Homo-oligomer: A and B are copies of this chain.
Amino acid sequence: MVTGRAASPPTQANAEDPIVFVIDDDASVRDALSNLFRSVGLRTVTFGSAHEFLQHKPADVPSCLILDIRLPRLSGLDFQAELAKAGIHIPIIFMTGHGDIPMTVRAMKAGAVDFLTKPFRDQDMLDAVTTAIDRDRSRRDEAKVLANLRGAFATLTPRERQVMTLVTAGLMNKQVAAEIGVAEITVKIHRGQIMRKMAAKSLPDLVRMAEILGIGRASGGAQT
**Residues on A facing B (Cβ under 8 Å):** 96, 99-102, 104-105, 108-109, 114-115, 117, 144-145, 148-149, 152, 167-172, 199-205, 207-209, 211-212, 220-224
Q: Which residue of B lies closest to A115 (CB)?
A: B105
CA distance A224 to B144 in the complex (A): 9
What chain B residues lie within 8 Å of A209 (beta carbons)? 222
Q: Which residue of B lies closest to A203 (CB)?
A: B203
- Whether the pair B170, A202 counts as a contact (CB closer than 8 A) is yes
CB distance from A68 to the nearest CB of B (A): 14
Point out the residue from B108, B199, B211, B222 that lies within 8 Å of A104, measured CB to CB: B108
- Whether the pair A205, B221 counts as a contact (CB closer than 8 A) is yes
Q: Which residue of B lies closest to A99 (CB)?
A: B101
CA distance A104 to B114 in the complex (A): 10
- Whether the pair B222, A170 counts as a contact (CB closer than 8 A) is no
What chain B residues lie within 8 Å of A172 (beta carbons)? 202
- Whether the pair A168, B224 counts as a contact (CB closer than 8 A) is no
Contact A149/B204 with A101-B99, A101-B115, A109-B108 known, Cβ cut-off 8 Å: no
CA distance A212 to B207 in the complex (A): 13
